[in-house]
């Protein structure tokens, strides 16, 4: 009985997935005309840490986190942040409902979007 409930819960959780990947997010930013950025900050509601997508030379390389203790230019692995429960491959998809804003710096200027603004185009 308990195993059946767990299996049902897992199936429901899988159905909630949005398919949001770092590559998809980066491509959406590029479709907005931004090309000269090396990382993307993804902020979540209710969390002081945020996810950092590192994408030098126009392609996604890896995912990391910025904690409140990180100095400028320093990031940590997800396992050393508030995202320790999430895999790098699925953190965006798993937490997509909680994404507050996405931020980049392109040619010295900051640009921010909500997910709705980013994907509405």
pLDDT at 12: 46
Residue 71 lies in a domain: yes
The stretch 24-30 carries a mean pLDDT of 90
Rounded Cα distance, 43 and 8, in Å = 30
Closest to 41 measured CA to CA, from 110, 88, 121, 116 = 110
**Helix, strand or coil, per DSSP, at residue 81:** coil
Residue 65 lies in a domain: yes
Residue 59 lies in a domain: yes
Residue 66 lies in a domain: yes
Contact (Cβ atoms closer than 8 angstroms) between residue 40 and residue 103: yes
Domain that residue 70 falls in: 18-119
Residue 87 lies in a domain: yes
pLDDT at 9: 47
pLDDT tier at 117, thresholds 50, 70, 90 = confident
pLDDT digits (tens, 9 = 90+) for 77-86: 999 999 999 9
Residue 9 lies in a domain: no
Rounded Cα distance, 111 and 86, in Å = 27
The stretch 71-98 carries a mean pLDDT of 92
| Tokens 């890896």 sit on residue | 62
Looking at the structure of the chain, the number of domains it has is 1
Q: Check whether 16 has a pLDDT greater than 90.
A: no
């Amino acid at each position: 009985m308990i195993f059946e409930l767990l299996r049902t819960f897992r199936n429901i959780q899988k159905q909630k997935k949005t398919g949001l990947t770092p590559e998809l997010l980066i491509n959406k930013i590029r479709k907005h005309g931004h090309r000269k950025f090396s990382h993307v900050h993804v902020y979540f509601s209710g969390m002081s840490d945020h996810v950092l997508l590192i994408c030098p030379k126009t392609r996604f390389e890896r995912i990391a986190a910025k904690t409140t203790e990180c100095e400028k230019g320093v990031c940590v692995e997800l396992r050393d942040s508030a995202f320790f429960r999430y895999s790098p491959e699925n953190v965006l998809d798993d937490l997509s409902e909680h994404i507050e804003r996405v931020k980049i710096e392109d040619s010295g200027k900051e640009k921010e979007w909500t997910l709705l603004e980013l994907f509405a185009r």
